Amino acid sequence: PLLRRRYVQLVSEQLRALRSPARPGTRPACRDLLDGRLSARTALPLALQERESQWLHEAADAAPPRWQPKPPSALESEVLTRTVGAGAQGLLASLWADSPEAPTTQAGASCEPVIAMLDRARALPPARRELVERLLFQPLN
């Protein structure tokens, strides 16, 4: 949970850094990051690239989880929806997609709703925050 929390905070900072589109009316790089387009990472400030590299190294050195994440219960899904909004489950599941899907958002789509949702999650009590952070990376089945 601690590594996941630190990664959610890092992703929030990355989205903030990439939220302005290169040209008005174009798709912001933060949407590419959310869709798993690894090339979006090259547009990140060097400090954020270094922090992500450090995080990856720490995650690789950490003990593996003792079990695979279980699908959320109906109660957990309800808590997630009421806490940070519908559509949060799996929101960050594509960050490291092997083969990202075609963009599903229009050209000028903003990352502000995602950033706001991550900010709301940060302010939650620990148990709810850990649930939200886990389910952000867990795709719908």
65-74 pLDDT per residue, tens:
887 778 889 9
Beta carbons of 66 and 99 less than 8 angstroms apart: no
| Distance of alpha carbon 135 from the chain centroid | 10
CA distances from 45 to 13, 103, 114 (A): 10, 23, 20
Tokens of 11: 């992703």
CA torsion angle 134 138 140 141 (round to 10): -120
pLDDT band at 110 (very low <50, low <70, confident <90, very high): confident
Q: Tell me how far apart the alpha carbons of residues 95 and 137 are, in angstroms, rounded to a whole number.
A: 9
- The 10s digit of each residue's pLDDT in 83-98 is 898 888 888 888 877 6
> What's the pLDDT at 67?
78
CA torsion angle 84 87 91 93 (round to 10): 130
Mean residue pLDDT of the chain comes to: 87
Beta carbons of 92 and 137 less than 8 angstroms apart: yes
Q: Where are the beta strands (DSSP E) in 2-84?
A: none
DSSP reduced 3-state for 19: coil
Q: Tell me how far apart the alpha carbons of residues 95 and 92 are, in angstroms, rounded to a whole number.
A: 6
pLDDT band at 8 (very low <50, low <70, confident <90, very high): very high
